[in-house]
Amino acid sequence: MNPTEGKKKKIRLLFVCLGNICRSPAAEGIMSGIVEKNGLQDIIDVDSAGTSGWHQGDLPDERMRSHGEKRGYDFCSHARKFRESDFDDFDYIIVMDENNYSSVKSLASGKDQADKIHLMTEFSVQFNYHNHIPDPYYGGSSGFELVLDLLEDACEGLLQVIKKEHSIY
């Protein structure tokens, strides 16, 4: 008997921003915390990537890590560039803005792959923030706090969508 037989495939989420040092690793860390809090680690897997490879191998931006720590998060993933194979490896590819959407969609080989791509703000419950999660990189503290607020909201909304779509209760 195959050891993976009867074992349900994990639902895999990939968060994507430009450099993979602010928004997407924060979304990864927040969603990982929500998944763990709900006891769904055996069902949902979370990762992040960037559309550029500028920061490949780097930890998330120090300011994002600091703001995240104040909220109890540990943003410790290492930046990597989005690759075409991610379409095969992930069920949901969640991008932070329209530029990320265009970059990722340009790599999709067909409708099935393109249908996996979603804007993070599609999952927002409390906030309606102009269809994008703003990049806090060139701003101050308030920008990082806003991004964390928006991501916490959208990650909670995303979990509800996943639970509904995959009959997880």
Residue type (1 letter), 95: V
Kindly report the pTM of this predicted structure: 0.94
133: its two tokens: 């999660």
Annotated domain spans of the chain: 11-165
User: pLDDT tens-digit profile of 40-53?
Assistant: 999 999 999 999 98
Q: Which CATH architecture has domain 11-165?
A: 3-Layer(aba) Sandwich (3.40)
Percent of the chain with pLDDT strictly greater than 70: 96
| CA 77 to each of CA 21, 101, 114, 131, 142: distance values in angstroms, whole numbers, following the listed order | 9, 22, 25, 25, 23
pLDDT for the residue 4: 43
pLDDT for the residue 129: 76
Q: Which of 73, 72, 27 is nearest to 49 (CA)?
A: 27
User: pLDDT tens-digit profile of 27-38?
Assistant: 999 999 999 999
Contact yes or no for 92/123 (Cβ under 8 A): no
Reported as a pLDDT band with limits 50, 70 and 90, residue 1 is very low
Please check the confidence at residue 14 and state whether its pLDDT lies above 60: yes
CA–CA separation, 3 vs 166, rounded Å? 23
Which residues are tagged catalytic?
A: 17, 23, 135
Characterise 167 by phi-psi region: left (phi > 0), alpha (psi -120 to 50), beta (else). left
Higher pLDDT, 8 or 7: 8
CA dihedral (58, 61, 64, 66) positive or negative: positive
User: pLDDT tens-digit profile of 105-143?
Assistant: 999 999 999 999 999 999 999 988 778 999 999 889 999
Contact yes or no for 80/50 (Cβ under 8 A): yes
